[in-house]
Structures are given as C-alpha cells and as structure tokens.
Structure 1
Amino acid sequence: MASALYPSFKQALLGGDIDLAADDIRAVIVDTADYTYSAAHDFLDDVAAGARVAASSALGSKTITGGVFDAADVTFSAVTGDSVEAIVLYKHTGSDATASLIAYIDGVSVTPNGGDLTASWHASGIFAL
C-alpha cells in the first residue's frame, strides 16, 4: 500500500473540523500484518488496537508552508512488540471513536527491541496538499 491521506480527513479539513496547526496531532506506529489501510476508515478505532505498536505524544513544531504539513521528528519510547511497517497520523481527542485519521504513511520497516524509535520525517515535509 502506498502512503495516502484518508478521504475522511480531506472532508474534515475542507469542512473546518481539523486544524493541523492548532489541533493535537499524534502518530501511531502500526504492524500491517494486523492493519490494512482502507479509504473507508475514518477514526482511530478502525485501526485494531493489536495493530498499534506504540503511540506518540502531540507532534511539536508543526508548520504549514506552501501546502506542506511538517512537524518535528517524533520519538516512540521503549518500543516492544510486533514489527512496524507504517505510521498513522490522527487528531487526538481522547476517544478512539472520535480521533480522526489523517494520513497513512507506508515505507517503514523496523523490528522493535525495547529501545526508542524515532520517526524522522522527510526533508520536504510529512505530506503536501
């Protein structure tokens, strides 16, 4: 699966329901053996809890420039569990049933060993519209 923006995110963004600069945006690293991207998915509860290897705190130093969303690299602390093949960005609300999915980022390949994992975003940003 290639990286993609969730269609529900696009709708929420255009409707003003998500503000990437102001909202609490977080990342979760996932095992694709337990989760398959679907354009029909809209909230974090669509990503099975067993597929979520570790979650971040709020992304810091977020910027939006020239249609590109970026943030500081994020560290997942003391990660154990299944292999990781993707990152899912979402708007944290405190409830998986209302935490809007934003982006599915493919191309990760890490086997946790109990140490920290750092997601180093691409130099050109996390994603562009």
Structure 2
Amino acid sequence: MANGYFTPFVEGIIAGEIDLDTASIKVALVRGYTFSAAHKFVSDVTGAGGTINGTSAALANKTVTGGVFDADDTTVSATASAVNHGLLLFQASAVTGGADVAASAQRLIAWYDTGTGLPIQPGTGTVSITWPASNPKILKVG
C-alpha cells in the first residue's frame, strides 16, 4: 500500500488540463486497486481491478494557496459493505467545470490508502472524509 500522485496529474497541471479550483473535484471509495503512478483516467483504475464503492459530491470551498490544495470535508455514500478501501481523488468534469465527463476522460489526481483511518472499512451508508487540517491538507504540489 502506498499513497501517491499520478504522474499524468502533474503533466495535466502544467498543460492546463487539470484545474483544482475551477473543475469539479471528487473523491471515491475504491477497493481492489493497486496504485500505479502511470494511470491517467478513472477508467484505468477500474480497468486494473478497482471497484468504485461510492463517490462524493464535488468538493466545496476549494482553495489553492502556496501550492496546497484544500476543500471542505465531505461524505461518500458506500453502496456495498466491503473492506480495504482507498480514496481516489479525481477531476470529474472538464477543466472549465460543468457536468461530469465519462470515466475515460475523468483525470486522476491522487491515491490515498495509508494513514489515519485508512484503509477504510465501510458498511453501507455514509462515510465521512475528513481532510488533514495542516499541510499537506488534501495535497501539496511542489
């Protein structure tokens, strides 16, 4: 198990294909996935055996300050009672925001499966996601 950023995320930031404070950013509960930094899209995760077990609404009150990305804590409604879930952070919309795009176009940002409360062992129902209050908060670039 390992937390990590997806290499295409960094490339997407540089190329203007990912915008953390404009696009719709979501988090999903995922089980059965082994992190690969080379993955680019949500469909790569599911194609590699990952099962999505609920997705949050778009993160609210996002901020990008000093290379640190943060947003309000959120919730995910787990649809199945299963063990060992990681958190998949991804851009669900086009770079300019709006409606969600297909999973084959949703850009991966980060994977978290190690740390306090991780992996998550949800039953069915609501799972609260509390982001760290200090750096790196949700993520720090640079």
**TM, length-normalised to structure 1:** 0.90
Letter of the aligned partner of 1:111 in structure 2?
Q
Equivalent in 90, 97, 101 of residue 108 of structure 2: 101
Q: Could you tell which deviates more after superposition, 68-77 or 102-111?
A: 102-111
Structure 2 distance, partners of 1:104, 1:113, is 21
1:39 aligns with 2:49: no
Summarize deviations over 1:53-111 as a string: whole Å, max 9, x none.
11111011101111100111111125423224310111113200000000111221332
CA contact (8 A) 1:53 1:84 kept: no
Q: Does residue 26 of the first structure (1) align with residue 20 of the second (2)? A: no
Work out the CA distance in 2 between the residues paired with 1:85 and 1:77: 13
Change (3 A) 1:74 1:50: same
1:82 aligns with 82
Tell me what 1:111 maps to: 121
Give the superposed CA RMSD: 1.6
Q: CA separation in 2, counterparts of 1:5 and 1:50?
A: 17
Amino acid paired to 2:56: S
User: For 2:113, what is the secondary structure of its paired residue?
Assistant: strand
AA matched with 1:36: T
Does 2:73 align with 1:61?
no
Tell whether 2:140 aligns with 1:128.
yes
After TM superposition, which residue ranges in structure 1, 4 or more long, deviate above 6 angstroms? Answer: none
Q: TM-score, normalised by structure 2?
A: 0.82
1:117 to partner: Cα distance: 0.4
Structure 1: which 5+ runs fail to align?
A: none
Q: Identity of counterpart residues, as a percentage?
A: 36
Contact kept in structure 2, 1:89 and 1:101, CA below 8 Å = yes
Aligned to 2:97: none
1:50 positional shift: 5.4
- Contact residue 79 and residue 117 of structure 1 kept, 8 A: no
Q: Distance in 2 between matches of 1:50 and 1:101?
A: 13
